Amino acid sequence: MTLLEGSVGVEDLVLLEPLEQESLIRNLQLRYEKKEIYTYIGNVLVSVNPYQQLPIYDLEFVAKYRDYTFYELKPHIYALANMAYQSLRHQDRDQCILITGESGAGKTEASKLVMSYVAAVCGKGEQVNSVKEQLLQSNPVLEAFGNAKTIRNNNSSRFGKYMDIEFDFKGSPLGGVITNYLLEKSRVVKQLEGERNFHIFYQLLAGADAQLLKALKLERDTGGYAYLNPDTSSVDGMDDDANFKVLQSAMTVIGFSEEEIRQVLEVAALVLKLGNVELVNEFQANGVPASGIRDGRGVQEIGELVGLNSGELERALCSRTMETAKENVVTALNVVQAQYARDALAKNIYSRLFNWLVNRINESIKVGTGEKRKVMGVLDIYGFEILEDNSFEQFVINYCNEKLQQVFIEMTLKEEQEEYKREGIPWVKVEYFDNGIICNLIEHNQRGILAMLDEECLRPGVVSDSTFLAKLNQLFSKHSHYESKVTQNAQHQYDHSMGLSCFRICHYAGKVTYNVNSFIDKNNDLLFRDLSQAMWKARHPLLRSLFPEGDPKQASLKRPPTAGAQFKSSVTTLMKNLYSKNPNYIRCIKPNEQQQRGHFSFELVNVQAQYLGLLENVRVRWAGYAYRQAYGSFLERYRLLSRSTWPRWNGGDQEGVEKVLGELSMSSEELAFGKTKIFIRSPKTLFYLEEQRRLRLQQLATLIQKTYRGWRCRTHYQLLRKSQIVIASWFRGNMQKKRYGKMKASALLIQAFVRGWKARKNYRKYFRSGAALILSNFIYKSMVQKFLLGLKNNLPSPSVLDKKWPSAPYKYFNTASHELQRLFHQWKCKKFRDQLSLKQVEVLREKLCASELFKGKKASYPQSVPIPFHGDYIGLQRNPKLQKLKGGEEGPILMAETVMKVNRGNGKTSSRILLLTKGHVIITDTKNPQAKTVIPLNSLARVSVTSFKDGLLSLHLSEISSVGSKGDFLLVSEHVIELLTKIYRATLDATQIQLPVTVTEEFSVKFKEGSLTVKVIQGPGGGGTGKLSCKKKGSRCLEVTVQ
């Protein structure tokens, strides 16, 4: 039992405390938010539509709920279906499952789940499987022709359905019978904004191939049909093309022939074509208004489609024949009347087609008359409706729900009373609201609203909706459940919501205001005899069979029964059917109007709960004993609460339950002991039992844990001890085996050596001592000689860049081969160096130094590698003035080039000549060579350069030098690699200290007033050209962009 333990909220609302409407809705909301969509009220199932697929309907769940009773698992529709099926199979009781709720609450899906569960758990076999398949495949057919998209639901059933599934004595399905109620045929000709016509029209246009559409004289575009809402041609999540193929397959499985399927589609196409027949005003010769058809092509196509004379159809649409005792009078219809006749014909054709489909399905799934059978009925019917404008359809729907509520209350009380009687418990009369007075108000044969409506429709004289309302006001002026504007005025009441053409009925679920406009027309539901006769004259077998009254031989002047009378008769038959069966209830609830998953509207659910009478249902169960359970199950759950029954009890179940409850000192008023069940009056008592059980379970769990831990420790110790003994014995045995193995191996080795020594001693006189060693040395030397001679003949070229080397012929020559290769390379390098002059050696040393400083650090380095360092880039030999600048004691000039000096104040550049000697860096103006700056090499602190392809460099001077007081130098050189390499080597030679060369994009330059930060960035071009542009950023930052 999982009603309380580990559940979300309260799984059975009978156990809900406090019992209020708000707490009931909050409990449903709590469970819905945790994806628990099913809740019980005793044996009634409340289902909240999740608007999503939940993983609780697969074969695993079917098997689980088949093996347990109703309350042993969480609430589920399978539990209710299983209870109904098992009662039918084992107790031989006919069952019915009543599914009610608003549009969009999930009634159709619930009925499918019930049927799929029954199909899954009943018998197997070829014939049984065929029957099950036909029963299941009736759903796609009825959904296609009877369902439509509404504002509230994308797949709303627009008819009521009652299906009797018949089983044999083994519980295997034999067949069934389907009864349909009140198809919403007005939808054929008109739909609200945002709604669609019946699915079949869209499926036909989307799924039929081009050949079929041509034969039906249809176009695929839904916008071309007056009866289809052009703004809502498709529905999210619904594939009309695929559904049409499913429909065709289902009709084939049920037993429809290809010709029958074709005829059904032709009649559906006829309805669509009728909507496109446009009627216009015309006048007869005497000036009387008449009507005609604007374009005869549409009527002609209809005639060709169903084998009908287009002239006959046009006359039937535009005129009416009145039959009297003496003659027939033909009356022309004006445009409004003709449009009414056209729409009435379309509605009648579709309604009769739907009835024919239901009867055709019944023929396929009917059971033979000679077999004894059990019956399970599934009722999927409209729920209670309160709209902004309630008309005749809502009136009859709510009348049906009043009758179902009456059945529900009476049969629930009857079932309770029978159970109390079976268990021998006194029955106390339950006070409840009897809605029989409301049912009588509507259905009384002489003084009911439906009787007054029929009387008004049949009486001669001027008949209108207002005269009907006046008759109701006169008849029910003092009825406690009837109101209108007239009755309110008589009682001096003011209600602005009550219209002059309205009346109100106080239903069990609330007050509903009905507008009487069109009550007379909808109840009459007349179709002119001319139209029936025209349809009967068609050469289309199916269409002709739908209008038998059109046959002149069967013509009758008797007025057909009204829609209200037909519905009342159907409801009476349904009620009689339900009273003969054991009822099971599924109350479906829509959580929100937007069809959104996870969203729960408290107000909307509250209104539906009132319509469905959920609180009233709980109160009926509360009137007696709220909870009851078989003695065996109760004792199995609670026997641990008594020392007498725990851990073993050998007595009877009832005696054991009495022992348990006696030791708990339960009040006798709270308990009643039946013949097979224990009855508990208040949920508080059950909660108390559950709390005591929870505490007892904790105690037992602690005891079990203590015992288990002790047993586990003892077992673990014994296992460790046994393992230690085994390991020790194996270890000692293994040690002895190893020792014996070593001794045996040693003995064998000694024996081998002794035998070998004896053999060598005996045979030494036959062989020369050391011959083998001499032979092996000779062979080895020969191989070495061959290898070296071959290497001599295959030596690579003497170029130091050639690194080829012959491979060794044998692996044991690899070491010698690598050593010879190394020596040969060193010899080539020495030969190459001996050929170089001192100047070439110096150039290579400079290149090596440049590699160590800038390889992998500066982008312009690879370009400088193949270019030799010249040193003189200004023609120093031809300029004696510049030669004087170096001084007489400095030796030769190492580097002379023109550089650009960057002004640290504004970023502008000016040309300078830079001379590098062994001891100084001399910078002079190109225009005035005498104005020079001499920087001793020992004054250089470090040099900064960027990693880009630019020539920017900074000479950072030490502060203690005389030149350093002026500040650092920021220069741009086209030969920055060569210049910095020579400065580095000259500084190393002059000071024996390595000059730090920093490669960075941001460095600081000092000058007299302070310091300046230089930031070097790469321009959009990627810095390929190496050109620089300097821009001052504030007073302390200079931004250099490399183009």
Just list the catalytic residues: 103-104, 108, 153, 156-157, 383, 385
User: Which of 762, 953, 948, 960 shows the shortest CA–CA distance to 859?
Assistant: 948
922: left (phi over 0), alpha (psi -120 to 50) or beta: beta
Backbone angles phi, psi at 276, to 5 degrees: -90, 0
CA torsion angle for 636, 641, 643, 646 (degrees, to 10)?
Answer: 30
CA 908 to chain centre: 66
Q: Which of 312, 691, 379, 258 is nearest to 536 (CA)?
A: 312
Q: What does 983-1041 look like in DSSP terms, one character per residue? A: HHHHHHHHHSSPPPEEE-SEEEEEETTEEEEEEEEE-TT-S-S--EEEEE-SSSEEEEE
8 touches 30 (CB < 8 A): yes
Report the distance separating Cα 373 and Cα 92, nearest Å.
10
- Tokens at residue 524, please? 């009459």
Q: Where would I find the H helices in 95-228?
A: 107-121, 126-146, 199-207, 210-216
Give the strand order in the sheet containing 502-507: 482-484, 502-507, 510-515
Whole-angstrom CA distances from 768 to 291, 332, 772 are: 142, 146, 9
State the Cα–Cα distance between residues 785 and 34, nearest whole angstrom: 91
Among left, alpha and beta (phi > 0; psi -120 to 50; other), residue 432 is beta
CA–chain centroid gap for 724, Å, is: 58
The DSSP annotation for 455-508 comes to: HHHHSSS---HHHHHHHHHHHSTT-TTEEEHHHHHHTT---TT--TTEEEEEET
CB contact at 8 A, 845 and 867: no
Contact call for residues 497 and 513 (beta carbons, < 8 A): yes
User: Are the C-beta atoms of 883 and 876 separated by less than 8 Å?
Assistant: yes
- CA gyration radius, the chain: 53
For 330, phi and psi rounded to 5 degrees? -95, 125
- Residue 610 CB coordination number (10 Å): 16
Task: Count CB-CB contacts under 10 A for residue 10.
Answer: 21
Query: Residue holding tokens 């001077």?
Result: 957
Please list, in sequence order, all residues whose beta carbon lies within 8 angstroms of the beta carbon of residue 1017, skipping any fewer than 6 positions away: 1001, 1039, 1040, 1041, 1042
Residues 6+ apart with CB under 8 A from 224: 276
